Chain A
């Protein structure tokens, strides 16, 4: 060491120079210290005095987390108050992206604990990339108790994971009424662009189909929230206040569970659709479509397999065929033809000689039988094609189109369900517009039997034919009782789903009687009567079958037959014959003869009538048990069910 030579404790330095430090230097040091402290105080001033407010709110944002309290969705009941759709408590796992230091490092552990793949998490993260960072994003829904325990046990390592109690939809099993009820799912990006969904944010659960979609605003309720005090690990230290959720409104559907059950059962193993309606009001009593899907699979994140299964099914399980299948109506259209012909004063006087077909414009058009002389009264029950070829030729396409359109063909009915389709009614104007071609009178011939370009939906057919049976009064079909819905919302729904709605068309009483009587004859035993196989003893049951070819005779010959080449089988049935209480439209795709569908339709009508009779018997028995009138109950024979006999 250089300085090792100092041992004397003298008051003078080794070189005998100054023994004191210059005061100026010590003062300078003092000033420097003061300056440093002043700078630090300036820093404190800037933070604590000038910007205290903004830092205070940052501190609050740090410690207070808004935890949503999800509103339970309104339940769905049938018309008699029987529960259709319920909720069940469920726990979901959310990811708090603000809480995470190195997400990629945590991913393998998260994936393992939640039993999902790292790729899946990446996909979720990408999906929510645009969402604000503070918003928790759902990693996995409906997690198991094991997975909940995993999250609780890893609070310190994985502070970014959070669980949230939710209510999840519990739908009927096996796709029962699935198309009618619909399902819920996360709001899609497309929907978020739609002004109707302006107040939704990504991750919100919304109705994506059926009643769930149409009445989402009523069903969803209003989410509440809880202000929770947390530490930096997301652990709850306490809570400040809360805003309770307002539960969604329970809705009563017009569906009758018993009729629905009959419809579902009738369609088992088939492809097609059944819709039943009260023609007086337009209330839908049953609505079933096949193949169906399981909405429960949609309310949790869909598995890829299930989605592929649905996508690859050629019969489109997601399609609600009662309002979305637009197919040639076949002979059911003859009721509309009869209505047009009678109202025009043409059909009453027609006597057509049926020799198993007829030649029009140089081309032979076949009929199933040689019916002989046919009038309007047996043309309907026999479904004589020759008669309707002739009637179509007499009326011309534009007259047919006028009457058909007045009954709602080629227009949506305005049912309160999303994605209804309109069907087609050809006319000269229609052909000019769509094909830029002139209409040839010969083309009207096949329209007369519901072939050619005319297509309808089962709901249209039910509404039109029951409208005729109701003396020209047509109703807007609906699945939710209108008094369940606030007027302004009802108005909005009518605007969202425009259609022919409530209408009255002129129908002369005698014409009304001709058509309904003829339709009644169709279901009674007799030669040529097309629907006699569906005859219901003791029930005033009327109907019309339809057998609509799915391809031309030539194409059929080439294809060599097979399931998909078989004609579509239609049936529209009602009871009682005039001012019916129920109408049912049945579509059985590739179901061959219309009489097959008629049997299905008869099952529905039977279920309805049987139920009504039981109901009335119950009332009568209740009356009978009253001691005041024992004699009356005993002497009067039990009245047969009101709708059955006329």
Chain B
């Protein structure tokens, strides 16, 4: 039956905030790549954003229940694509994360899997709603997220793998997990973590180095510790008002590592200071609050779950990325949504927003 959704209910305010951040992103990418061989990435980012916007509008027209219906298939395809990327993916810096689709287009399945998992978790917990979570329920939820997570982890891509985890946590939280169960899970995790720590060799050398560098940044001045140091210097030297667009010495002098992706927030902080940083974080806050509001007004449970899944992923990435930039978190290689350069990241965000829009437009149905 035809659905009565209308663009009157499209969340133009949310889109406005998102576009504002996108503009900031493009400007900062331009500044950060000004004197480098990556000059012109700002234009590519605009292209990604344009494609993202189009996809967002298209997705917003598709009833999200349809997506939920086909999600088991999507999960299956995701798992296959993760296996395929491990086998035939393009190797970049020792990790197979990309599938070359030809014509210079690379596809990163792990980013797309994020979206699939949000929908799958929503569908899973929807099916469990109305009763208390049992241990098998929890175990299956862990398996649902854990298997793709493990496949991404062995690419190896710790950063993206970690972003799957908040989807699970949010699902369990909203799905009604009890305190006692949480306590037991935490205990088990601590135990496993302890054993892993003892056996040591669980992490790749560069991951070990990153964690070590986080603990002691001065130990390896040109390694991971160097990145954190330069990031702290960039952020700190920005001061309250910043050094101005194109005038960050850390950013322009190539001291700050990858200032257009993982460390874009450091570049932004250097050039626009504490005031600019607060502004960006405020925008994130408004976007997230707007999303939560949409989750609240969603017409059904899966809608709310999906939106909260998106919220979980975004806030997790903000926490880890900004936390890294200001020295509160280790270097994990997680991009900052809406700000970092990168097609896959932009597409995820806008596809997710498209689904959110559809959920919102469906809220007064029935």
Residues of A within 8 A of B (CB): 1-7, 9, 11, 13-21, 23, 25-26, 29-30, 32-34, 36-37, 39-41, 43-49, 51-52, 54-56, 58-60, 62-63, 98, 100-102, 229-233, 237
**Contact, CB under 8 Å: A20 / B233:** no
B15 at the A/B interface (Cβ < 8 Å)?
A: no
B69 at the A/B interface (Cβ < 8 Å)?
A: yes
Q: Kindly list chain A residues whose C-beta atoms are within 8 Å of the C-beta of B230.
A: 62
Report the bound CA distance from A9 to B63 in whole Å: 11
Report the bound CA distance from A49 to B239 in whole Å: 6
**Contact, CB under 8 Å: A48 / B233:** no
Q: Kindly list chain B residues whose C-beta atoms are within 8 Å of the C-beta of A44.
A: 235, 269, 274, 277-278, 326
Q: Kindly list chain A residues whose C-beta atoms are within 8 Å of the C-beta of B65.
A: 9
**Contact, CB under 8 Å: A15 / B131:** yes
A29 (CB) vs chain B CBs: closest residue:
B292
Nearest-CB distance from A19 to chain B (Å)? 6
Q: Kindly list chain A residues whose C-beta atoms are within 8 Å of the C-beta of B79.
A: none
When A and B form their complex, which 3 residue pairs have the shortest distance between CB atoms, in order from nearest? Answer: A55-B236, A17-B130, A15-B130
**Contact, CB under 8 Å: A48 / B235:** yes
Within the complex, which residue of B232, B269, B301, B326 is in contact with A13, where a contact is CB–CB below 8 Å? Answer: B301
Chain B 217-254 interface mask (CB, 8 Å, partner A; 1/0)? 00001110000001011111111100000000110111
B149 at the A/B interface (Cβ < 8 Å)?
A: no
Nearest-CB distance from A278 to chain B (Å)? 62
Chain B 106-135 interface mask (CB, 8 Å, partner A; 1/0)? 000000000000000001101111110000
**Which B254-278 residues sit within 8 Å CB-CB of chain A?**
254-255, 269, 273-274, 277-278
Report the bound CA distance from A26 to B269 in whole Å: 30
16 contacts between A and B (CB under 8 A): A1-B75, A7-B69, A17-B130, A18-B130, A26-B304, A32-B315, A33-B292, A37-B285, A44-B235, A44-B278, A46-B326, A47-B236, A48-B235, A52-B236, A62-B253, A63-B250
B72 (CB) vs chain A CBs: closest residue:
A1
Within the complex, which residue of B173, B278, B296 is in contact with A23, where a contact is CB–CB below 8 Å? Answer: B296
Given A56-B236, A232-B253, 12 more pairs with CB closer than 8 A: A14-B130, A20-B296, A29-B170, A30-B288, A33-B288, A48-B236, A48-B238, A48-B274, A52-B240, A63-B253, A101-B223, A237-B253
A22 (CB) vs chain B CBs: closest residue:
B174
Report the bound CA distance from A170 to B276 in whole Å: 59
Within the complex, which residue of A4, A21, A37 is in contact with B284, where a contact is CB–CB below 8 Å? Answer: A37
Report the bound CA distance from A18 to B176 in whole Å: 12
Report the bound CA distance from A438 to B273 in whole Å: 89
Within the complex, which residue of B237, B288, B366 is in contact with A11, where a contact is CB–CB below 8 Å? Answer: B366
Q: Kindly list chain B residues whose C-beta atoms are within 8 Å of the C-beta of A39.
A: 323, 328
Q: Kindly list chain A residues whose C-beta atoms are within 8 Å of the C-beta of B300.
A: 11, 19
**Contact, CB under 8 Å: B140 / A2:** yes
**Contact, CB under 8 Å: A47 / B319:** no
Say whether, besides A43-B326, A47-B235, A62-B250, A36 and B319 are in contact (CB < 8 Å): yes
**Contact, CB under 8 Å: B278 / A41:** yes
B308 at the A/B interface (Cβ < 8 Å)?
A: yes
Say whether, besides A37-B284, A56-B237, A14 and B328 are in contact (CB < 8 Å): no
**Contact, CB under 8 Å: B233 / A55:** yes
Q: Kindly list chain B residues whose C-beta atoms are within 8 Å of the C-beta of A47.
A: 232, 235-236, 269, 326-327
Within the complex, which residue of A1, A37, A49, A101 is in contact with B274, where a contact is CB–CB below 8 Å? Answer: A49
Nearest-CB distance from A267 to chain B (Å)? 57
Nearest-CB distance from A529 to chain B (Å)? 80
Interface centre among A47, A51, A58 (most CB of B within 10 A): A47
**Contact, CB under 8 Å: B308 / A6:** no
Say whether, besides A21-B301, A59-B234, A59-B237, A6 and B123 are in contact (CB < 8 Å): yes
B26 at the A/B interface (Cβ < 8 Å)?
A: no
Report the bound CA distance from A608 to B129 in whole Å: 118
B297 (CB) vs chain A CBs: closest residue:
A20
B318 at the A/B interface (Cβ < 8 Å)?
A: yes
Q: Kindly list chain A residues whose C-beta atoms are within 8 Å of the C-beta of B128.
A: 3
Q: Kindly list chain B residues whose C-beta atoms are within 8 Å of the C-beta of A60.
A: 249
**Contact, CB under 8 Å: B292 / A30:** yes
Report the bound CA distance from A546 to B351 in whole Å: 108
**Contact, CB under 8 Å: B130 / A13:** yes
Q: Kindly list chain B residues whose C-beta atoms are within 8 Å of the C-beta of A17.
A: 129-131
Q: Kindly list chain A residues whose C-beta atoms are within 8 Å of the C-beta of B326.
A: 40, 43-44, 46-47
**Contact, CB under 8 Å: B130 / A51:** no
Report the bound CA distance from A62 to B237 in whole Å: 11
Within the complex, which residue of B252, B285, B319, B322 is in contact with A34, where a contact is CB–CB below 8 Å? Answer: B285
**Contact, CB under 8 Å: A43 / B327:** yes
Report the bound CA distance from A416 to B322 in whole Å: 68
B58 at the A/B interface (Cβ < 8 Å)?
A: no
**Contact, CB under 8 Å: B308 / A21:** yes
Say whether, besides A11-B366, A18-B130, A101-B222, A48 and B253 are in contact (CB < 8 Å): no
B295 at the A/B interface (Cβ < 8 Å)?
A: yes
B189 at the A/B interface (Cβ < 8 Å)?
A: no
Nearest-CB distance from A416 to chain B (Å)? 49
Q: Kindly list chain B residues whose C-beta atoms are within 8 Å of the C-beta of A32.
A: 315
